[in-house]
Amino acid sequence: MRNRVLAIAAIAGAMAVPIAAQAQTTTGTGGSTVVIGEHEGITAEQRPAFREYIVRERVPNYRISERVTVGGVLPEAGVTYYDVPQSFAVTPYRYTVVNGQTVLVEPRSRRIVQVVD
């Protein structure tokens, strides 16, 4: 009887893993976001003000040959990353503008975690 209960619990746990993995990725209005752990990017409500901030700061636009997508990795050289002001989000990510699109990037891996449209 106890083995049967353990087997059912193991099956239920194995079935919950894909559901938990899907909960880590979200798509927001006007841009894609990948949620890693507890950290989120720029919210939909913050995007207009964040875009204005980028224009005001005159952040340079970097050109790359690849398409800018969530999960893509930016080149090691030639791109400068900037801290996200705390007024927008407390986040470990950095931002930059690539191919005319503002992106949040995980600084160690240079992986794009959000395209802020």
Contacts with 57 (C-beta within 8 Å, 6 or more apart), sequence order: 82
The pLDDT of residue 39 is: 54
Distance of CA 25 to the CA centre of its chain: 9
Task: Tell me if 117 sits within 8 A of 101, measured CB to CB.
Answer: yes
What does the pLDDT read at residue 91? 83
* Number of domains, the chain: 1
Q: For residue 78, what is the domain's CATH number?
A: 3.10.450
Domain that holds residue 95: 2-116
Q: State residue 37's pLDDT score.
A: 41
| pLDDT at site 57 | 94
Would you state the pLDDT for residue 3? 61
pLDDT along the chain (117 residues), means of 10: 57 50 40 48 90 93 92 91 88 93 94 91
What distance in Å separates the CA atoms of residue 89 and residue 41, rounded to the nearest whole number? Answer: 7
